[in-house]
């Protein structure tokens, strides 16, 4: 299963979500390929410093992350697209209506993942925790899908 995480700039939320999901997938032996991209991302930027620091709490190294924009190809290659906000979802719906969800929606909740961009380290840690908690539910859902195939 190919999962794409999408936010605005791909320096914070979607980058953190992809890295956290990679860790959860490895720990739970999930067969997934994970990518992240940003709707307005430039190619090749680093993750924000506070995103890197926030993920150190989970023993995840985000220092090698490089941003990339959402493209039609990456959308086509994805089985599930998980956006950080409803607005991101609405932008991508014309390209991928049947496979785009907000992260919280797919996890069985509602709302948006708050954007910590420009905030302090505590804001990034809170966002990382919110993403982590949601991805635990997403991982269970993916495992259930695989077990029912």
Catalytic residue (one of 109, 115, 120, 125): 115
Could you give the CA distance from residue 52 to residue 33 in angstroms, rounded to a whole number? 21
Length of the chain (residues): 149
Could you give the CA distance from residue 57 to residue 124 in angstroms, rounded to a whole number? 11
Could you give the CA distance from residue 34 to residue 123 in angstroms, rounded to a whole number? 24
What burial class does residue 10 get, using C-beta atoms within 10 Å of its C-beta: 0-12 exposed, 13-18 middle, 19+ buried?
Answer: buried
Catalytic residue (one of 13, 29, 33, 137): 13
The answer to whether 13 is a known catalytic residue is yes
Contact 78, 57 (CB under 8 A): no
What burial class does residue 1 get, using C-beta atoms within 10 Å of its C-beta: 0-12 exposed, 13-18 middle, 19+ buried?
Answer: middle
Catalytic residue (one of 7, 109, 122, 144): 7
Q: Which residues are catalytic?
A: 7, 13, 115
């Amino acid at each position: 299963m190919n999962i794409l995480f999408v936010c605005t700039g791909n320096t914070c939320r979607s980058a953190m979500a992809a890295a956290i999901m990679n860790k959860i997938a490895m720990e739970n032996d999930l067969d997934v390929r994970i990518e992240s991209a940003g709707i307005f991302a430039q190619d090749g930027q680093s993750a924000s410093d506070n995103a890197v620091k926030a993920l150190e709490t989970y023993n995840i190294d985000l220092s090698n992350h490089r941003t990339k924009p959402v493209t039609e190809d990456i959308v086509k290659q994805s089985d599930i697209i998980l956006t950080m906000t409803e607005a991101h979802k609405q932008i991508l719906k014309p390209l991928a209506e049947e496979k785009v969800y907000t992260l919280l929606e797919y996890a069985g909740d509602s709302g948006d993942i708050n954007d910590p961009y420009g905030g302090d380290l505590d804001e990034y840690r809170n966002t990382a925790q919110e993403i982590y908690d949601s991805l635990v539910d997403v991982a269970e859902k993916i495992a259930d899908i695989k077990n029912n195939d």
